[in-house]
Amino acid sequence: MKKKLMLMALSLAFVAGATVATAQTKVTLGTEGAYPPFNWIDENGDLQGFDVDVGNAICAAASLDCTWVVQDWDGIIPGLLAKKYDAIVASMSITEERKEKVDFTNKYYNTPAMFVRKKGSGIEINAASLSGKAVGVQRATIHENFLRDNYGEVVTIKAYATQDEANLDFLAGRVDLLLADSVALMESLVDTDDGKDSEFVGPEFTDPRWFGDGVGIAVRKGARDLRDTLNAGIAKIRADGTYNKINAKYFDFDVYGN
Amino acid sequence: MLDLKGYGWMLWQGLELTVLVGLCAMAVALAVGMIGAWGKLSRPGVGRGLAGAYTTVVRGVPELLLILLVYYGVPTLIQDVAASAGYDLIIDLNPFVAGVITIGVIYGGFTTEVLRGAYLAVPHGQIEAARAIGMDRTLTFRCVVLPQMWRFALPGLGNVWMVLIKATALISVIQLEELMRNADVAARATRLPFTFFFVASLLYLAITIVSMVIQQRAEAWANRGVRRA
């Protein structure tokens, strides 16, 4: 008798779970929680970061009831496929390889590549001002390709094995400029004590030909309703200024790109 | 003194979960190991075949793979089968239970071999003598074999425990916030990887040292009545 009751309760629980999932007003979002400034866990154990704020704003804009689940990066796509959560908002770049397993929304950011100069150097990002200047860049990166294709004729390119080495030579005055991902430069140089005399200069480069499709929200294949809802949410917060407020909270440049 | 930037409680909570998962998994491993050893020592047949297959598979496949299979693979498979039959099923496996069972079953394979070896180390003449004076099989096992098995099994079991407690670091892939995962979270949020991984390693070392002390006491207890050479 007891066993039968247990079985009934169990099957009821499954049915209840199934109806909630199809109603699609409740959505569980998965993130990593270890990738500042996009997502991290603060000293009170609360989720913080750009991904988290954008995710919450999209949910509010699309009237979804969202809850967060924190998941180690290694299991983040398997967890989505096993329905532990319905969408991944964890700074996941849209790549062809991942598109075979999951569907992506439109991008919600694409951190631009930017130049960094010494304060007071007066260098501008145009052919005349750049002529004869030395630019440090990490070797075999999309940034080196971009630099060669666009400014290869006018500047001297100095390629380094790591970004840290390029930064050190920049601080030592051996190169006049650096070109790299804006957030990487902000974290490793511009926002640090060593780099207090450096600043971003010039336009934000996001051309997909060199820099890819940016970062989107991943959903399970075939979850068209959810993807469309999230896309509408992204469009709405872009249009009503919510996105720009969140952008300004974390970065002093535009991370959406063109 | 090390500055933990307010993340100390997170490491402590991770430590608690690591120890809890470890103890529960060790209990499962002992239970599974007992059954496995019994199977391997029984006469040739289905039970022995199953136990042999179990220890071969479980000891031969990486732990991480088994954890991912149990927590993600099996539910995804069942859900896909249900979906193709037209049901929208969600199997919500509790990560703690999944982690404990997976690690327990994996280390049950090693425990099986430890216990089998311990059983074989008890001189067979004693079992024959017990049967000769009229003790039945249960009584023989309880009063003659088991007390001596501990003596031979404890060093091996202690070894299994030490490896098991470190294997718990793998369960962070299934959303369990154990010590290693929390150290990683704190390290990345504060950009102080050395500090947090150093503290985490000290905490693992503390678990190991406490375990060694307990094991020495347990071995002294199991060896009572045995003359030292």
Which stretches does DSSP call E strand in A19-153? 26-31, 34-35, 39-41, 47-48, 65-70, 87-93, 102-109, 113-118, 134-138
Maximum average pLDDT range among A95-99, B74-78, B142-146: B142-146
CA proximity to B182, closest of B12, B60, B21: B12
Interchain proximity B72–A75, CB inside 8 Å: yes
pLDDT of residue B153: 95
What long-range pairs does A165-168 form, CB within 8 A, spacing at least 24?
Answer: A166/A136, A166/A137, A166/A138, A167/A136, A167/A195
Residues with Cβ within 8 Å of residue B126, at least 6 apart in sequence: B144, B145, B148
Task: Tell me the Cα Rg of chain A.
Answer: 22
Question: For testing the chain B interface, which of A35, A43, A102 should be mutated: the one with the most B CBs within 10 Å?
Answer: A43
For residue B201, give how far its alpha carbon lies from the nearest alpha carbon of chain A (Å). 19
Interchain proximity A40–B188, CB inside 8 Å: yes
Pairing state between β A177-181 and A134-138: parallel
For residue A83, give how far its alpha carbon lies from the nearest alpha carbon of chain B (Å). 7
> Which one of A36, A71, A81 has the shortest CB-CB distance to B175?
A71
**By residue range, what is the domain housing residue B115?**
20-177
Domain A113-211 CATH (choose: 3.40.50.300, 3.40.190.10, 1.10.3720.10, 3.10.129.10): 3.40.190.10
Task: Tell me the Cα Rg of chain B.
Answer: 22
What CATH number should be reported for the domain holding residue B157? Answer: 1.10.3720.10
Look up residue A64 and give its two tokens.
């979804």
CATH number of A2-110+213-250: 3.40.190.10
Numbered residues of chain A with Cβ closer than 8 Å to any chain B Cβ: 14, 17-18, 21-22, 33-36, 40-45, 69-72, 74-75, 78-79, 81-84
Give A66's strand partners: A27
pLDDT of residue B191: 80
| pLDDT of residue B125 exceeding 90 | yes
> Which one of B5, B75, B184 has the shortest CB-CB distance to A43?
B5
**B173 chain-A contacts, CB cut-off 8 A:** 72, 74-75
For residue A33, the 8-state DSSP code is: S
Predicted TM-score of the model (pTM): 0.80
Which of the two residues, B43 and B88, has the higher pLDDT score?
B43
**Nearest C-alpha in A relative to B171:** A72
> Which one of B5, B72, B181 has the shortest CB-CB distance to A82?
B72
Q: Where are the domains of chain A?
A: 2-110+213-250, 113-211
B175 touches chain A (CB under 8 A): yes
Is B209 inside a domain boundary?
A: no
Peptide bond into A112 cis (omega under 30): no
Is B50 inside a domain boundary?
A: yes
Contact of A40 with A33, CB cutoff 8 Å: yes
Q: In what order do the strands lie in the sheet with A113-118?
A: A156-160, A134-138, A177-181, A113-118, A198-205
pLDDT of residue A1: 46
Is B60 inside a domain boundary?
A: yes
State ipTM: 0.81
Is B89 inside a domain boundary?
A: yes
Q: In what order do the strands lie in the sheet with A34-35?
A: A34-35, A39-41, A47-48
CA proximity to A125, closest of A150, A142, A144, A149: A150
pLDDT 10s digits, B150-184: 999 999 999 999 999 999 999 888 888 999 999 99
| pLDDT of residue B30 exceeding 80 | yes
Maximum average pLDDT range among A58-62, A187-191, A253-257, B147-151: A58-62
A-proximal residues of B, 53-82, CB under 8 Å: 68, 71-73, 75-76, 79
For residue A159, give how far its alpha carbon lies from the nearest alpha carbon of chain B (Å). 26
- Give me the mean pLDDT over the B51-61 stretch: 93
For residue B61, give how far its alpha carbon lies from the nearest alpha carbon of chain A (Å). 18
pLDDT band at A18 (very low <50, low <70, confident <90, very high): very low
Contact of B41 with B203, CB cutoff 8 Å: no
A-proximal residues of B, 112-141, CB under 8 Å: none
Give the lowest-confidence range in A37-46, A194-203, B66-75, B203-212.
B66-75
Interchain proximity B72–A72, CB inside 8 Å: no
Is B14 inside a domain boundary?
A: no
A2-110+213-250 and A113-211: same fold? yes
Interchain proximity A36–B185, CB inside 8 Å: no
> Which one of B72, B88, B191 has the shortest CB-CB distance to A22?
B88
Give the lowest-confidence range in A80-84, A214-218, B38-42, B170-174.
B170-174
Cα A71 to Cα A21, A63, A138, A200, B142, distances in angstroms: 20, 24, 31, 34, 46
Is B98 inside a domain boundary?
A: yes
